[in-house]
Structure 1
Amino acid sequence: MASDYTLDRHDELLIAIPLFEHSREWATAEPTNAERAWFLCRVVCERHGLTPSEAILEIV
Structure 2
Amino acid sequence: MTNNKLSKEDMKRVEQFLNTPVNQVERQPFKPMKLLLIITLVVVGFGLLSRLIAWLYVNSITS
Q: Which has the higher contact order (CA 8 A, sep 6+)?
A: 1
Q: Which has the larger radius of gyration?
A: 2
Q: Same fold (TM over 0.5)?
A: no
Question: How does the TM-score come out when normalised to structure 1?
Answer: 0.35
